Amino acid sequence: MVAVGDAAPDFTLTDQHGQRVTLSDFRGAKNVVVLFYPFAFTGTCTGELCAIRDDLASFDNDDTTTLAVSCDSMYSLRVFADREGYPFPLLSDFWPHGEVARAYGVFVESLGAAQRGTFIIDTAGVVRWSVTHPLGQARDAGEYRRVLAELGAAR
């Protein structure tokens, strides 16, 4: 798994609207919360993403952006985002299947999906904090806010 202090593996993925998003485009401009989640439309994943949606100012502002990544297809992610009102990018790591999740060390081969993993990357492209949780255990968005505040990025 990518460790704190490592350079974050760069990637380009397609979001739910078909737009390509590249991690390194945020270097020098914003901290990035890269949030891997297993599956769209599941209770725990929906709850976690709704917590971000409901406190969007902490996760998408002048200093920070959030990129949510799953191995679901772009089309599934579009329906999921529209249904739940997610205004932030849901990125599809569908093909090559799980390539970005593998690069970050959170791909679960037996499921064909990403484990719950979160990486906070600073403006220099360095991982400053990370956490993983088992598939059924939700993460606490408050942890992200605390770390972002320590980076001077929380509003």
- 93-133, pLDDT tens digit by residue? 999 999 999 999 999 999 999 999 999 999 999 999 999 98
Residue boundaries of the structural domains of the chain: 28-150
Query: CATH number of the domain at 28-150, out of 3.40.50.300, 1.10.1840.10, 3.30.70.2740, 3.40.30.10?
Result: 3.40.30.10
* Non-local CB neighbours of 120 within 8 Å, separated by 6+ positions: 31, 32, 33, 34, 127, 128, 129, 130, 144, 147, 148, 151
Q: What is the pLDDT of residue 153?
A: 46
Residue 71 designated active-site: no
Q: What is the pLDDT of residue 52?
A: 92
In the chain, the percentage of residues whose pLDDT exceeds 70 is: 98
Given the residues 32, 35, 40, 45, select the one marked as catalytic: 45
Cβ proximity of 155 and 56 under 8 Å:
no
Compute the average pLDDT of residues 9-15. Answer: 98
Q: What is the pLDDT of residue 155?
A: 38
